[in-house]
Homo-oligomer: A and B are copies of this chain.
Amino acid sequence: MTDATTESTVLRADGRTPGQLRPISITRGWSTQAEGSALIEFGNTRVLCTASFTAGVPRWLKGEGSGWVTAEYAMLPRATNTRSDRESVKGKIGGRTHEISRLIGRSLRSIIDTKALGENTIVLDCDVLQADGGTRTAAITGAYVALAEAVRWAREQKLIKPNARVLRDTVAAVSVGIIDGVPMLDLPYVEDVRAETDMNVVVTGSGKFVEVQGTAEGAPFDRDELDRLLDLALAGTVELSRIQRETLGEAA
């Protein structure tokens, strides 16, 4: 593998260095209907995240004094370069959609104190309006902002206790991958399809792992490659956490 010096000089198709994020933009409150919302952009990837807050929990949780947070991910049919059939028209949800919805849900639940939330439900909808790689990591990162907004709204509406610390931490996610032997951060579609190894990493604001999902798309990877991918991902999520806090008007 190339040494670190070399790596920082490898120029990617969009001019970034291997360890650099794409331009990140988060528009808080893009939707006026939802209790919380954010339009998040990782380069050309554009995901609308809404958080719907409702009193009450699913039947199986009633009377436990705990809240519930869940997520649904979907793509518009023409978010991608060629049109896909709608899952509603096909009458069933594909495996990929299921998998990502579950990942987003687990990621957000990892930083929620469901006791502090009380018997309330928050549903996070992440709809990909335009896809250019990294939609699931953008979705998690944007969903956190929508979630934080909804919690703030609920506190103002006195639907949760004024001093309840519902959010124990922040959470953000980024993709990393190895391309031609070089570990790279935040892959757009053209890089994603070429990556030998592809990893999505979900990290809290305090730098701990929530999810590590690494897949050898081409050749299996060794321990050293894994370590270098984790280094990149940790650095990337530090930056994303900072942008999240800024968007929410919180001091670093």
A: which residues have CB within 8 A of B? 31-34, 37, 44, 48, 50, 52, 54, 72, 74, 76-83, 86-99, 101-102, 106, 110, 123, 125, 127, 129-131, 169, 199, 204, 206-216, 219-223, 226, 230
Closest residue of chain B to A212 (Cβ to Cβ) is: B214
In the assembled complex, the CB of A173 is this many whole angstroms from the nearest CB of chain B, namely 13
Give the residue of B52, B90, B204 whose beta carbon is less than 8 angstroms from that of A78. B52
In the assembled complex, the CB of A29 is this many whole angstroms from the nearest CB of chain B, namely 12
Give the residue of B86, B98, B208 whose beta carbon is less than 8 angstroms from that of A98. B98
Assembly CA distance A199 to B213 (angstroms): 10
Give the residue of B78, B102, B214, B223 whose beta carbon is less than 8 angstroms from that of A211. B214
Assembly CA distance A97 to B223 (angstroms): 29
* Contact A31–B78 (Cβ < 8 Å): yes
B-chain residues with CB within 8 Å of residue A74 when the two chains form the complex? 86, 88
B-chain residues with CB within 8 Å of residue A90 when the two chains form the complex? 88
